[in-house]
Chain A
Amino acid sequence: MSQKEVAILGVGITKFGRVTGRGLLEIAHEAGLKALKDAGVDFRDIQMGFCAHCNQPMGTGMDCFAELGMTGIPVTNVEVACASQSRGVLLAAEMIAAGAYDVALVIGIEKMPRGMVPSIGDLGDMPYRFLTGIMPMPGEYAMQAREHMHLHGTKIEHFAKAAEKAHRNGSLNPNATYQEVFSLEEIMNSRMIADPITMLMCSANADGATATVVCSKKKAKQYTTKPMLLVGWASGTPMYVKSESVSLAEGPTKYLARKVYEMSGLAPEDVDVVQMHDAFSPGEIWTLEDLGFCPKGDGGPFVWEGNTEIGGKIPVNTDGGLVSCGHPLGATGGRMIAELCWQLRGTAGPRQVPGKPKVALLHNQGLGGTNVMMFKM
Protein backbone atom coordinates (compact mmCIF):
# COMPACT_ATOMS: atom_id res chain seq x y z
CA MET A 1 0.00 0.00 0.00
CA SER A 2 1.26 3.42 -0.87
CA GLN A 3 -0.55 5.09 2.03
CA LYS A 4 -1.40 3.77 5.44
CA GLU A 5 -3.91 6.46 6.31
CA VAL A 6 -7.10 7.62 4.66
CA ALA A 7 -9.36 10.51 5.68
CA ILE A 8 -13.04 10.40 6.55
CA LEU A 9 -14.06 13.79 5.26
CA GLY A 10 -17.79 13.89 5.79
CA VAL A 11 -20.67 11.93 7.30
CA GLY A 12 -24.42 12.08 6.94
CA ILE A 13 -27.36 10.16 8.35
CA THR A 14 -31.14 10.31 8.21
CA LYS A 15 -33.36 9.68 11.17
CA PHE A 16 -33.73 5.93 11.69
CA GLY A 17 -37.23 4.66 12.27
CA ARG A 18 -39.84 2.03 11.68
CA VAL A 19 -41.78 2.51 8.47
CA THR A 20 -40.92 6.12 7.87
CA GLY A 21 -43.07 6.22 4.74
CA ARG A 22 -40.17 7.77 2.89
CA GLY A 23 -38.84 6.31 -0.36
CA LEU A 24 -35.47 4.70 -0.87
CA LEU A 25 -34.19 7.42 -3.19
CA GLU A 26 -35.43 10.17 -0.90
CA ILE A 27 -33.47 8.94 2.12
CA ALA A 28 -30.39 8.04 0.03
CA HIS A 29 -30.46 11.56 -1.36
CA GLU A 30 -30.76 13.11 2.10
CA ALA A 31 -27.88 11.12 3.61
CA GLY A 32 -25.67 11.61 0.54
CA LEU A 33 -26.20 15.38 0.43
CA LYS A 34 -25.60 15.70 4.18
CA ALA A 35 -22.27 13.86 3.87
CA LEU A 36 -21.19 15.93 0.86
CA LYS A 37 -22.08 19.20 2.63
CA ASP A 38 -20.36 18.01 5.81
CA ALA A 39 -17.24 17.27 3.75
CA GLY A 40 -17.49 20.46 1.71
CA VAL A 41 -17.18 18.32 -1.42
CA ASP A 42 -19.13 18.89 -4.63
CA PHE A 43 -20.66 15.73 -6.10
CA ARG A 44 -18.70 16.43 -9.30
CA ASP A 45 -15.49 15.78 -7.33
CA ILE A 46 -16.59 12.28 -6.28
CA GLN A 47 -14.66 9.71 -8.32
CA MET A 48 -16.37 6.47 -7.28
CA GLY A 49 -19.39 5.32 -5.38
CA PHE A 50 -20.37 2.34 -3.27
CA CYS A 51 -23.92 1.59 -2.18
CA ALA A 52 -24.45 -0.86 0.68
CA HIS A 53 -27.79 -2.63 1.09
CA CYS A 54 -29.13 -6.14 1.73
CA ASN A 55 -32.81 -6.33 0.85
CA GLN A 56 -33.18 -3.78 -1.95
CA PRO A 57 -33.62 -4.50 -5.67
CA MET A 58 -30.79 -5.04 -8.13
CA GLY A 59 -29.33 -1.77 -9.31
CA THR A 60 -30.33 0.20 -6.21
CA GLY A 61 -26.85 1.74 -5.97
CA MET A 62 -26.92 3.11 -9.48
CA ASP A 63 -30.35 4.64 -8.87
CA CYS A 64 -29.35 6.17 -5.52
CA PHE A 65 -26.24 7.77 -6.96
CA ALA A 66 -28.15 9.03 -10.01
CA GLU A 67 -30.34 11.01 -7.58
CA LEU A 68 -27.24 12.93 -6.49
CA GLY A 69 -25.65 13.42 -9.87
CA MET A 70 -24.83 11.75 -13.16
CA THR A 71 -21.13 12.25 -13.69
CA GLY A 72 -20.52 8.78 -15.04
CA ILE A 73 -18.54 7.47 -12.04
CA PRO A 74 -18.38 3.75 -11.30
CA VAL A 75 -20.92 2.65 -8.67
CA THR A 76 -20.73 -0.74 -6.95
CA ASN A 77 -23.33 -2.38 -4.73
CA VAL A 78 -21.91 -3.95 -1.56
CA GLU A 79 -23.53 -6.64 0.60
CA VAL A 80 -21.97 -8.07 3.78
CA ALA A 81 -25.24 -8.39 5.72
CA CYS A 82 -25.26 -5.96 8.68
CA ALA A 83 -21.64 -4.97 8.01
CA SER A 84 -22.23 -3.77 4.44
CA GLN A 85 -21.71 -0.01 4.76
CA SER A 86 -18.45 -0.22 6.71
CA ARG A 87 -17.17 -2.75 4.17
CA GLY A 88 -18.07 -0.26 1.44
CA VAL A 89 -16.01 2.38 3.26
CA LEU A 90 -13.10 -0.04 3.55
CA LEU A 91 -13.29 -0.96 -0.14
CA ALA A 92 -13.08 2.76 -0.90
CA ALA A 93 -10.25 3.18 1.62
CA GLU A 94 -8.28 0.29 0.15
CA MET A 95 -8.62 1.66 -3.39
CA ILE A 96 -7.65 5.14 -2.21
CA ALA A 97 -4.72 3.78 -0.22
CA ALA A 98 -3.59 1.92 -3.34
CA GLY A 99 -3.60 5.21 -5.21
CA ALA A 100 -6.37 4.33 -7.67
CA TYR A 101 -8.75 7.13 -6.60
CA ASP A 102 -8.81 10.17 -4.32
CA VAL A 103 -12.43 10.75 -3.27
CA ALA A 104 -15.32 8.32 -2.82
CA LEU A 105 -18.87 8.48 -1.54
CA VAL A 106 -20.30 5.44 0.27
CA ILE A 107 -24.05 5.29 0.83
CA GLY A 108 -25.70 2.73 3.09
CA ILE A 109 -29.41 2.25 2.80
CA GLU A 110 -32.25 -0.02 3.88
CA LYS A 111 -35.98 -0.16 4.07
CA MET A 112 -36.95 -2.98 6.42
CA PRO A 113 -40.08 -5.08 6.72
CA ARG A 114 -41.76 -5.41 10.13
CA GLY A 115 -41.02 -8.37 12.38
CA MET A 116 -37.89 -10.49 12.39
CA VAL A 117 -35.39 -10.40 9.56
CA PRO A 118 -36.44 -13.15 7.11
CA SER A 119 -32.93 -14.39 6.50
CA ILE A 120 -33.80 -17.27 4.21
CA GLY A 121 -30.82 -18.87 2.51
CA ASP A 122 -30.56 -22.11 0.61
CA LEU A 123 -27.10 -23.16 1.77
CA GLY A 124 -25.91 -25.59 4.46
CA ASP A 125 -28.49 -26.12 7.20
CA MET A 126 -30.14 -22.70 6.64
CA PRO A 127 -33.19 -24.24 4.92
CA TYR A 128 -33.71 -26.52 7.94
CA ARG A 129 -33.46 -23.54 10.30
CA PHE A 130 -35.86 -21.33 8.44
CA LEU A 131 -38.34 -23.81 6.94
CA THR A 132 -38.92 -25.30 10.37
CA GLY A 133 -38.76 -21.91 12.11
CA ILE A 134 -36.48 -23.22 14.87
CA MET A 135 -34.04 -20.34 14.61
CA PRO A 136 -35.58 -16.92 15.17
CA MET A 137 -33.06 -14.16 14.47
CA PRO A 138 -32.02 -13.52 18.11
CA GLY A 139 -31.34 -17.26 18.49
CA GLU A 140 -27.68 -17.08 17.56
CA TYR A 141 -26.98 -14.35 20.13
CA ALA A 142 -29.26 -16.10 22.64
CA MET A 143 -27.29 -19.35 22.44
CA GLN A 144 -24.00 -17.47 22.68
CA ALA A 145 -25.40 -15.61 25.70
CA ARG A 146 -26.45 -18.88 27.39
CA GLU A 147 -22.99 -20.32 26.78
CA HIS A 148 -21.39 -17.17 28.23
CA MET A 149 -23.58 -17.48 31.34
CA HIS A 150 -22.62 -21.13 31.68
CA LEU A 151 -18.88 -20.65 31.20
CA HIS A 152 -18.33 -17.32 32.95
CA GLY A 153 -21.24 -16.82 35.33
CA THR A 154 -22.59 -13.88 33.34
CA LYS A 155 -26.08 -12.83 34.44
CA ILE A 156 -29.18 -11.75 32.59
CA GLU A 157 -28.89 -8.47 34.54
CA HIS A 158 -25.60 -7.83 32.74
CA PHE A 159 -27.28 -8.13 29.34
CA ALA A 160 -30.12 -5.93 30.57
CA LYS A 161 -27.64 -3.36 31.84
CA ALA A 162 -26.04 -3.10 28.38
CA ALA A 163 -29.52 -2.50 26.92
CA GLU A 164 -30.43 0.01 29.65
CA LYS A 165 -27.28 2.02 28.88
CA ALA A 166 -27.94 1.80 25.12
CA HIS A 167 -31.50 3.08 25.49
CA ARG A 168 -30.37 5.87 27.84
CA ASN A 169 -27.72 7.01 25.32
CA GLY A 170 -30.22 6.68 22.50
CA SER A 171 -32.67 8.94 24.32
CA LEU A 172 -30.12 11.71 23.69
CA ASN A 173 -29.98 10.95 19.97
CA PRO A 174 -32.63 12.56 17.72
CA ASN A 175 -31.80 10.05 14.96
CA ALA A 176 -32.52 6.95 17.08
CA THR A 177 -35.65 4.84 16.55
CA TYR A 178 -36.55 4.49 20.24
CA GLN A 179 -35.29 7.69 21.95
CA GLU A 180 -36.71 6.34 25.17
CA VAL A 181 -35.25 5.47 28.56
CA PHE A 182 -36.15 2.05 29.99
CA SER A 183 -35.36 0.76 33.48
CA LEU A 184 -33.55 -2.53 34.10
CA GLU A 185 -36.85 -4.00 35.29
CA GLU A 186 -38.71 -2.85 32.19
CA ILE A 187 -36.04 -4.39 29.98
CA MET A 188 -35.97 -7.69 31.88
CA ASN A 189 -39.77 -7.86 32.02
CA SER A 190 -40.34 -6.96 28.38
CA ARG A 191 -41.54 -9.79 26.15
CA MET A 192 -39.15 -12.78 26.07
CA ILE A 193 -38.05 -13.38 22.47
CA ALA A 194 -35.35 -16.03 22.74
CA ASP A 195 -34.24 -16.77 26.28
CA PRO A 196 -32.34 -14.87 27.75
CA ILE A 197 -33.00 -12.10 25.20
CA THR A 198 -36.04 -9.89 25.74
CA MET A 199 -37.65 -7.49 23.28
CA LEU A 200 -35.89 -4.39 24.69
CA MET A 201 -32.49 -6.10 24.27
CA CYS A 202 -33.15 -6.43 20.52
CA SER A 203 -32.44 -3.87 17.83
CA ALA A 204 -35.63 -2.89 16.06
CA ASN A 205 -35.94 -3.11 12.30
CA ALA A 206 -35.73 0.40 10.96
CA ASP A 207 -35.55 2.32 7.72
CA GLY A 208 -32.61 4.62 7.30
CA ALA A 209 -29.74 5.83 5.18
CA THR A 210 -26.18 6.89 5.94
CA ALA A 211 -23.30 8.21 3.88
CA THR A 212 -19.56 8.67 4.26
CA VAL A 213 -17.10 10.67 2.15
CA VAL A 214 -13.73 8.90 2.03
CA CYS A 215 -10.67 10.78 0.77
CA SER A 216 -6.93 10.44 0.41
CA LYS A 217 -5.06 12.17 3.21
CA LYS A 218 -3.29 14.39 0.68
CA LYS A 219 -6.44 15.53 -1.10
CA ALA A 220 -8.26 16.00 2.22
CA LYS A 221 -6.02 19.03 2.92
CA GLN A 222 -7.94 20.89 0.19
CA TYR A 223 -11.09 20.65 2.27
CA THR A 224 -10.13 20.69 5.94
CA THR A 225 -7.19 21.13 8.25
CA LYS A 226 -8.35 18.39 10.59
CA PRO A 227 -10.08 15.37 9.07
CA MET A 228 -10.82 12.20 11.01
CA LEU A 229 -8.18 9.71 9.88
CA LEU A 230 -8.68 6.00 9.36
CA VAL A 231 -5.38 4.72 10.74
CA GLY A 232 -6.00 0.98 10.87
CA TRP A 233 -8.54 -1.45 9.51
CA ALA A 234 -9.25 -5.11 8.81
CA SER A 235 -12.15 -7.07 7.32
CA GLY A 236 -12.80 -10.77 7.59
CA THR A 237 -15.10 -13.75 7.82
CA PRO A 238 -15.23 -16.73 10.22
CA MET A 239 -12.21 -18.99 10.33
CA TYR A 240 -12.26 -22.75 10.76
CA VAL A 241 -10.48 -23.79 13.94
CA LYS A 242 -9.85 -27.42 14.78
CA SER A 243 -9.69 -27.65 18.53
CA GLU A 244 -9.43 -30.50 21.01
CA SER A 245 -13.02 -30.30 22.11
CA VAL A 246 -14.87 -29.47 18.95
CA SER A 247 -14.27 -28.14 15.48
CA LEU A 248 -16.12 -24.94 14.78
CA ALA A 249 -16.09 -21.70 12.90
CA GLU A 250 -14.75 -18.85 15.02
CA GLY A 251 -15.90 -15.29 14.68
CA PRO A 252 -12.99 -13.22 13.45
CA THR A 253 -13.35 -10.21 15.81
CA LYS A 254 -10.37 -11.06 18.01
CA TYR A 255 -8.07 -11.74 15.13
CA LEU A 256 -9.14 -8.61 13.22
CA ALA A 257 -8.76 -6.42 16.31
CA ARG A 258 -5.19 -7.67 16.71
CA LYS A 259 -4.44 -6.71 13.12
CA VAL A 260 -5.95 -3.26 13.60
CA TYR A 261 -3.99 -2.58 16.79
CA GLU A 262 -0.84 -3.63 14.97
CA MET A 263 -1.52 -1.53 11.86
CA SER A 264 -2.40 1.58 13.86
CA GLY A 265 0.29 1.16 16.49
CA LEU A 266 -2.42 1.71 19.10
CA ALA A 267 -3.63 -0.48 21.97
CA PRO A 268 -7.00 -0.87 23.75
CA GLU A 269 -5.73 1.57 26.45
CA ASP A 270 -5.37 4.28 23.78
CA VAL A 271 -9.00 4.06 22.65
CA ASP A 272 -11.33 6.82 23.94
CA VAL A 273 -14.68 5.81 22.42
CA VAL A 274 -16.08 2.69 20.73
CA GLN A 275 -18.91 1.71 18.41
CA MET A 276 -19.62 -2.01 18.40
CA HIS A 277 -22.20 -4.31 16.89
CA ASP A 278 -25.01 -4.90 19.39
CA ALA A 279 -27.82 -6.31 17.24
CA PHE A 280 -28.83 -7.81 20.60
CA SER A 281 -27.43 -6.30 23.81
CA PRO A 282 -25.49 -9.41 25.01
CA GLY A 283 -23.20 -8.78 22.02
CA GLU A 284 -21.62 -5.87 23.90
CA ILE A 285 -20.40 -8.26 26.60
CA TRP A 286 -18.32 -10.60 24.47
CA THR A 287 -17.29 -8.00 21.90
CA LEU A 288 -15.66 -5.99 24.71
CA GLU A 289 -13.64 -9.10 25.51
CA ASP A 290 -12.77 -9.86 21.89
CA LEU A 291 -11.64 -6.28 21.28
CA GLY A 292 -9.35 -6.51 24.31
CA PHE A 293 -11.05 -4.07 26.70
CA CYS A 294 -11.42 -6.67 29.45
CA PRO A 295 -10.31 -10.28 30.01
CA LYS A 296 -12.35 -13.15 28.52
CA GLY A 297 -15.38 -13.80 30.68
CA ASP A 298 -15.29 -10.43 32.50
CA GLY A 299 -17.55 -8.57 30.04
CA GLY A 300 -20.67 -8.89 32.22
CA PRO A 301 -19.29 -7.30 35.41
CA PHE A 302 -17.34 -4.80 33.26
CA VAL A 303 -20.60 -3.47 31.80
CA TRP A 304 -22.47 -3.78 35.11
CA GLU A 305 -19.89 -1.52 36.83
CA GLY A 306 -20.58 1.23 34.30
CA ASN A 307 -17.28 1.14 32.44
CA THR A 308 -18.98 1.49 29.05
CA GLU A 309 -21.11 4.52 29.96
CA ILE A 310 -20.50 7.98 28.49
CA GLY A 311 -18.01 9.20 31.08
CA GLY A 312 -16.98 5.64 31.93
CA LYS A 313 -13.59 4.04 31.35
CA ILE A 314 -14.38 3.16 27.73
CA PRO A 315 -17.66 4.61 26.40
CA VAL A 316 -19.46 2.19 24.06
CA ASN A 317 -22.26 3.01 21.63
CA THR A 318 -22.73 6.59 22.78
CA ASP A 319 -25.56 7.10 20.27
CA GLY A 320 -27.59 4.15 21.57
CA GLY A 321 -26.08 1.49 19.33
CA LEU A 322 -28.22 -0.85 17.30
CA VAL A 323 -30.41 -1.50 20.34
CA SER A 324 -31.80 2.05 20.53
CA CYS A 325 -31.02 3.42 17.05
CA GLY A 326 -32.66 0.51 15.25
CA HIS A 327 -31.06 -1.45 12.46
CA PRO A 328 -31.41 -0.62 8.77
CA LEU A 329 -29.02 -3.44 7.80
CA GLY A 330 -27.12 -1.83 4.96
CA ALA A 331 -26.96 1.59 6.65
CA THR A 332 -25.81 0.71 10.16
CA GLY A 333 -22.04 0.92 9.54
CA GLY A 334 -22.38 4.51 8.35
CA ARG A 335 -24.28 5.43 11.52
CA MET A 336 -21.39 4.05 13.59
CA ILE A 337 -18.80 6.01 11.58
CA ALA A 338 -20.86 9.20 11.84
CA GLU A 339 -21.15 8.97 15.64
CA LEU A 340 -17.41 8.37 16.06
CA CYS A 341 -16.68 11.30 13.75
CA TRP A 342 -18.90 13.62 15.80
CA GLN A 343 -17.32 12.35 19.02
CA LEU A 344 -13.79 13.04 17.77
CA ARG A 345 -14.80 16.45 16.43
CA GLY A 346 -16.37 17.22 19.81
CA THR A 347 -19.78 17.92 18.27
CA ALA A 348 -21.79 15.06 19.77
CA GLY A 349 -23.83 17.44 21.95
CA PRO A 350 -25.44 15.86 25.04
CA ARG A 351 -23.80 12.53 24.15
CA GLN A 352 -20.30 13.98 23.99
CA VAL A 353 -17.65 11.90 25.73
CA PRO A 354 -15.79 14.22 28.13
CA GLY A 355 -12.04 14.85 27.92
CA LYS A 356 -11.73 15.45 24.16
CA PRO A 357 -11.58 11.90 22.77
CA LYS A 358 -8.93 11.46 20.08
CA VAL A 359 -8.97 7.76 19.23
CA ALA A 360 -12.04 5.73 18.25
CA LEU A 361 -12.61 2.06 17.42
CA LEU A 362 -15.41 0.58 15.32
CA HIS A 363 -16.69 -3.01 15.12
CA ASN A 364 -19.47 -3.86 12.65
CA GLN A 365 -20.54 -7.46 12.07
CA GLY A 366 -23.09 -9.31 9.99
CA LEU A 367 -23.57 -13.06 9.54
CA GLY A 368 -19.87 -13.57 10.17
CA GLY A 369 -18.59 -10.77 7.93
CA THR A 370 -16.76 -8.38 10.25
CA ASN A 371 -15.03 -5.01 9.92
CA VAL A 372 -12.83 -3.37 12.56
CA MET A 373 -11.61 0.20 12.06
CA MET A 374 -9.43 2.58 14.07
CA PHE A 375 -9.90 6.35 13.76
CA LYS A 376 -7.78 9.18 15.03
CA MET A 377 -8.10 12.94 15.07
Chain B
Amino acid sequence: MSETKKKVPIKVGLFKPPDDGDEGYLFGSRCKACGVYFHPKRVVCANCYSEDLEEVALSRRGKITTYTIARTSYPGTPVTPPFVTALVELPEKVRVLSLIAGIELDKVEIGTEVELCFWKTGEDDKGNEVVAYAFRPMLT
Protein backbone atom coordinates (compact mmCIF):
# COMPACT_ATOMS: atom_id res chain seq x y z
CA MET B 1 0.00 0.00 0.00
CA SER B 2 2.72 2.40 -0.93
CA GLU B 3 1.71 5.83 -2.18
CA THR B 4 3.73 7.42 -4.94
CA LYS B 5 5.93 10.10 -3.49
CA LYS B 6 5.42 13.49 -5.03
CA LYS B 7 7.34 16.74 -5.20
CA VAL B 8 5.46 19.38 -3.24
CA PRO B 9 6.30 23.12 -3.25
CA ILE B 10 7.66 24.74 -0.09
CA LYS B 11 4.94 27.33 -0.60
CA VAL B 12 1.87 26.94 -2.80
CA GLY B 13 1.28 29.57 -5.49
CA LEU B 14 4.85 30.66 -6.28
CA PHE B 15 5.96 27.95 -8.68
CA LYS B 16 5.02 24.62 -10.20
CA PRO B 17 7.42 21.92 -9.05
CA PRO B 18 8.88 19.57 -11.65
CA ASP B 19 6.70 16.55 -12.35
CA ASP B 20 7.15 13.45 -14.51
CA GLY B 21 8.41 14.80 -17.80
CA ASP B 22 7.63 18.42 -16.90
CA GLU B 23 10.51 20.55 -15.72
CA GLY B 24 8.55 23.01 -13.55
CA TYR B 25 8.40 26.78 -13.73
CA LEU B 26 7.79 30.00 -11.80
CA PHE B 27 4.29 31.41 -11.79
CA GLY B 28 3.83 34.99 -12.88
CA SER B 29 0.94 37.27 -13.68
CA ARG B 30 0.51 39.04 -17.00
CA CYS B 31 -1.83 42.01 -17.16
CA LYS B 32 -4.10 41.52 -20.17
CA ALA B 33 -4.78 45.25 -20.34
CA CYS B 34 -1.25 46.69 -20.39
CA GLY B 35 0.94 43.62 -20.87
CA VAL B 36 3.15 44.07 -17.79
CA TYR B 37 4.37 40.93 -15.98
CA PHE B 38 4.73 40.35 -12.25
CA HIS B 39 6.28 37.84 -9.86
CA PRO B 40 4.93 36.84 -7.41
CA LYS B 41 1.41 36.80 -8.85
CA ARG B 42 -0.84 39.78 -8.33
CA VAL B 43 -4.60 40.28 -8.22
CA VAL B 44 -4.54 43.90 -9.40
CA CYS B 45 -2.08 45.28 -11.95
CA ALA B 46 0.36 47.64 -10.19
CA ASN B 47 0.84 49.54 -13.46
CA CYS B 48 -2.71 50.17 -14.76
CA TYR B 49 -4.92 48.83 -11.95
CA SER B 50 -6.75 46.38 -14.23
CA GLU B 51 -8.04 43.27 -12.48
CA ASP B 52 -7.78 41.25 -15.67
CA LEU B 53 -4.56 39.34 -15.03
CA GLU B 54 -3.67 35.84 -16.22
CA GLU B 55 -1.39 33.27 -14.64
CA VAL B 56 1.62 32.54 -16.84
CA ALA B 57 4.76 30.41 -16.77
CA LEU B 58 7.78 32.74 -16.58
CA SER B 59 10.95 32.27 -18.62
CA ARG B 60 13.45 29.82 -17.19
CA ARG B 61 16.49 31.93 -18.01
CA GLY B 62 17.68 35.30 -16.78
CA LYS B 63 20.66 37.19 -15.46
CA ILE B 64 21.88 38.29 -12.04
CA THR B 65 21.33 42.01 -11.43
CA THR B 66 22.69 42.02 -7.88
CA TYR B 67 23.63 39.46 -5.24
CA THR B 68 25.00 38.78 -1.80
CA ILE B 69 27.03 35.93 -0.40
CA ALA B 70 25.27 35.03 2.82
CA ARG B 71 27.55 33.72 5.56
CA THR B 72 24.76 33.10 8.01
CA SER B 73 21.07 32.28 8.02
CA TYR B 74 18.21 31.39 10.29
CA PRO B 75 18.55 28.28 12.46
CA GLY B 76 16.54 25.32 11.23
CA THR B 77 16.40 26.41 7.58
CA PRO B 78 17.57 24.06 4.79
CA VAL B 79 20.34 26.29 3.36
CA THR B 80 23.93 25.82 4.46
CA PRO B 81 26.04 29.00 4.52
CA PRO B 82 27.90 30.24 2.62
CA PHE B 83 25.43 30.54 -0.24
CA VAL B 84 24.54 33.08 -2.90
CA THR B 85 21.22 34.94 -2.96
CA ALA B 86 20.53 37.13 -5.97
CA LEU B 87 17.99 39.15 -7.84
CA VAL B 88 17.49 37.51 -11.22
CA GLU B 89 16.01 39.57 -14.03
CA LEU B 90 13.91 37.61 -16.51
CA PRO B 91 13.11 38.61 -20.12
CA GLU B 92 9.59 39.56 -18.93
CA LYS B 93 11.32 42.35 -16.97
CA VAL B 94 10.51 40.93 -13.57
CA ARG B 95 13.08 40.48 -10.85
CA VAL B 96 12.99 37.28 -8.84
CA LEU B 97 14.78 36.89 -5.52
CA SER B 98 16.40 33.48 -5.57
CA LEU B 99 19.05 31.18 -4.24
CA ILE B 100 21.84 30.64 -6.78
CA ALA B 101 22.80 26.97 -6.80
CA GLY B 102 25.92 25.30 -8.17
CA ILE B 103 28.12 28.38 -8.35
CA GLU B 104 31.58 28.95 -6.95
CA LEU B 105 31.52 31.89 -4.58
CA ASP B 106 34.34 33.72 -6.33
CA LYS B 107 32.67 33.26 -9.73
CA VAL B 108 29.40 35.08 -8.98
CA GLU B 109 29.05 38.50 -10.56
CA ILE B 110 26.43 40.93 -11.76
CA GLY B 111 25.43 39.93 -15.29
CA THR B 112 25.95 36.17 -14.82
CA GLU B 113 23.41 34.23 -16.91
CA VAL B 114 21.40 31.70 -14.96
CA GLU B 115 18.59 29.20 -15.47
CA LEU B 116 15.84 27.86 -13.25
CA CYS B 117 16.32 24.67 -11.26
CA PHE B 118 14.80 23.05 -8.19
CA TRP B 119 16.26 21.72 -4.94
CA LYS B 120 15.00 19.52 -2.17
CA THR B 121 14.49 21.38 1.09
CA GLY B 122 13.24 18.41 3.11
CA GLU B 123 10.34 15.97 3.38
CA ASP B 124 6.82 16.48 4.61
CA ASP B 125 5.10 14.14 7.09
CA LYS B 126 3.88 11.92 4.23
CA GLY B 127 7.40 11.44 2.96
CA ASN B 128 6.89 13.69 -0.06
CA GLU B 129 9.87 15.64 -1.30
CA VAL B 130 9.48 19.37 -0.47
CA VAL B 131 11.10 21.52 -3.15
CA ALA B 132 12.00 25.17 -3.71
CA TYR B 133 13.35 26.95 -6.77
CA ALA B 134 16.82 28.28 -7.40
CA PHE B 135 18.76 29.51 -10.42
CA ARG B 136 22.09 28.05 -11.50
CA PRO B 137 24.74 29.24 -13.95
CA MET B 138 23.93 28.26 -17.53
CA LEU B 139 26.03 25.46 -18.86
CA THR B 140 27.68 26.91 -21.94
A255 at the interface (CB under 8 A from B): no
Is A133 touching B78 in the complex (CB atoms < 8 A)? yes
Quick check: is B93 within 8 A (CB to CB) of the other chain?
Answer: yes
| Complex CA distance for A261 and B77, rounded to whole angstroms | 45
Type the 1/0 row for B3-24, where 1 means its CB is closer than 8 Å to any CB of A: 0000000110010000000000
Quick one: which of A134, A144, A191, A196 contacts B79, CB cutoff 8 A? A134
Q: Tell me the bound Cα distance from A245 to B133 in angstroms.
A: 24
B70, B76, B83 — most chain A CB neighbours (10 Å): B70
Q: How far is the CB of B77 from chain A (nearest CB, A)?
A: 3
Chain B residues numbered 96-140 whose CB sits less than 8 Å from any CB in chain A: 96-99, 110, 121, 132-133
In the complex, the answer to whether A134 meets B11 with C-beta atoms within 8 Å is no
Q: Are A195 and B71 in contact (CB under 8 A)?
A: yes
Q: How far is the CA of A221 from the CA of B6 in the complex (A)?
A: 71
Among A132, A191, A192, point to the contact of B77 (Cβ < 8 A).
Answer: A132
Q: A70 on the interface (CB 8 Å rule)?
A: no
CB distance from A101 to the nearest CB of B (A): 35
Which B residues lie within 8 Å of A147 (CB)?
65-66, 110
Contacting residues, chain B, for A131 (C-beta < 8 A)? 10-11, 77, 121, 132
Q: Which of A128, A134, A196 contacts B14 (CB 8 A)?
A: A128
- Report the Cα distance A135→B73, complex, angstroms: 7
A134 touches B99 (CB 8 A): yes
Would B47 and A240 count as touching, CB distance under 8 A?
Answer: yes
Residue B33, interface by CB 8 Å: no
Are B68 and A139 interface neighbours, CB within 8 A? yes
Contact of A150 among B11, B73, B93, B110 (CB under 8 A): B110
A143 at the interface (CB under 8 A from B): yes
B56 at the interface (CB under 8 A from A): no
Nearest to B74 among chain A residues (CB) is A133
Is A134 in contact with B71, judged by CB distance below 8 angstroms? Answer: no
* Contact of B72 with A194 in the complex, beta carbons under 8 Å: yes
Could you say which residues of chain A place their CB within 8 Å of the CB of B46? 240, 247
Inter-chain contact B14/A136, CB cutoff 8 Å: no
Is there an interface contact between A127 and B11, defined as CB atoms closer than 8 Å?
yes
Complex: how many Å from CA A131 to CA B15? 15
> Given contacts A146-B68, A246-B93, is CB(A134)–CB(B73) below 8 Å?
yes
* 5 tightest Cβ-Cβ pairs between the two chains A and B: A133-B77, A142-B68, A195-B69, A147-B66, A240-B46
- Mark B residues whose CB is within 8 Å of A: 10-11, 14, 36-40, 46-47, 65-79, 83, 85-87, 89, 93-99, 110, 121, 132-133
